[in-house]
């Protein structure tokens, strides 16, 4: 049956930044599709709250505190989570940060910090995942979370835009390199989504009006809008899809 292709029963997944916002929306969606989900985040309290909500959907989910800025510690972190979950079938690289300000005033430290979390950390985590799956001779699915800034840009977000442009190309490269091993790599590109990170934009009357006018569906997205796309790409329903970016943006990129 077609519906069985979308099932994630007996699958395990890791969602970085899964304790709030888009990450939690995706983690919950994966759990609702049947997967046991591990989430990571820097805030222990938010992790606990998210885990309680996930536990009401699917038993066996876990939450771990980790800061992806610690790129040197990613391999050990991944190995620990994978052991705890008895292997990981799905990896969702969601965690991200941004720094807003005039590009000419952006510090090198801020630039490198955004790149480290948004681009380097997903690359290293994806390496860890691929090495494990290749070693076990099992395929799998990686989903990287991009942005409208994979395709466009706006003032004051130079580092974020550069990092998300890198994610778009990383999806293509990893998909090409790991297809022979049965590992599919795709991306989801959120439009303007209401989260803690975008709260200052939502509260800006002028910017909020621009988003509503520019988006054909006439609203901001919510984290739950991203879950079906991630579940689809992680499932067997997307068995012949790799190297693609799926934009969930209310039509934003279709207009000018």
3-state secondary structure of 176: helix
Our answer to whether residue 78 is catalytic in this structure is no
As a whole number of angstroms, the distance between CA 98 and CA 9 comes to 35
Which residues does residue 173 pair with via DSSP β-bridges, in sequence order? none
First-to-last alpha carbon distance for the chain, in angstroms, is 40
As a whole number of angstroms, the distance between CA 39 and CA 22 comes to 12
3-state secondary structure of 218: coil
Which residues does residue 80 pair with via DSSP β-bridges, in sequence order? none
By C-alpha distance, which of 182, 72, 197 is closest to 129? 182
Counts for the chain of helices (H) and strands (E), in that order: 10, 7
Q: Which two tokens stand for residue 142?
A: 């990686």
Catalytic annotation, pick one of 78, 129, 160, 192: 160
By C-alpha distance, which of 69, 212, 163, 13 is closest to 24? 13
Strands 245-248 and 12-16: unpaired
214 and 185 in contact (C-beta within 8 Å)?
Answer: no
User: Which residues are designated catalytic?
Assistant: 160
């Amino acid at each position: 049956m077609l519906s069985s292709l979308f099932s994630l029963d007996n699958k395990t997944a890791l969602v970085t930044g899964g304790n709030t916002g888009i990450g939690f929306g995706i983690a919950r969606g994966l759990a609702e599709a049947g997967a046991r989900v591990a989430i990571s985040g820097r805030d222990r309290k938010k992790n606990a709250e998210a885990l309680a909500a996930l536990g009401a959907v699917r038993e066996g989910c876990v939450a771990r505190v980790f800061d992806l800025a610690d790129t040197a510690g990613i391999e050990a972190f991944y190995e620990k989570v994978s052991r705890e979950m008895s292997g990981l079938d799905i990896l969702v690289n969601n965690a991200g940060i941004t720094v807003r300000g005039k590009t000419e005033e952006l510090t090198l430290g801020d630039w490198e910090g955004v790149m480290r979390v948004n681009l380097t950390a997903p690359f290293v985590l994806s390496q860890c995942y691929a090495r494990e799956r290749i070693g076990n001779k099992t395929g799998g699915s990686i989903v990287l979370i991009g942005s409208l800034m994979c395709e466009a840009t706006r003032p004051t977000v130079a580092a974020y835009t550069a990092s998300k442009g890198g994610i778009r190309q990383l999806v293509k490269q990893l998909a090409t390199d790991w297809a022979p091993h049965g590992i599919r790599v795709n991306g989801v590109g959120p439009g303007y989504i209401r989260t803690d990170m975008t709260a200052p934009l939502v509260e800006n009357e002028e910017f909020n009006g621009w988003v509503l006018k520019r988006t054909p569906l006439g609203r901001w997205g919510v984290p739950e809008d991203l879950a079906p796309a991630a579940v689809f790409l992680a499932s067997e329903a997307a068995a012949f899809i790799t190297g693609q970016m799926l934009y969930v943006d209310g039509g934003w990129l279709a207009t000018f």
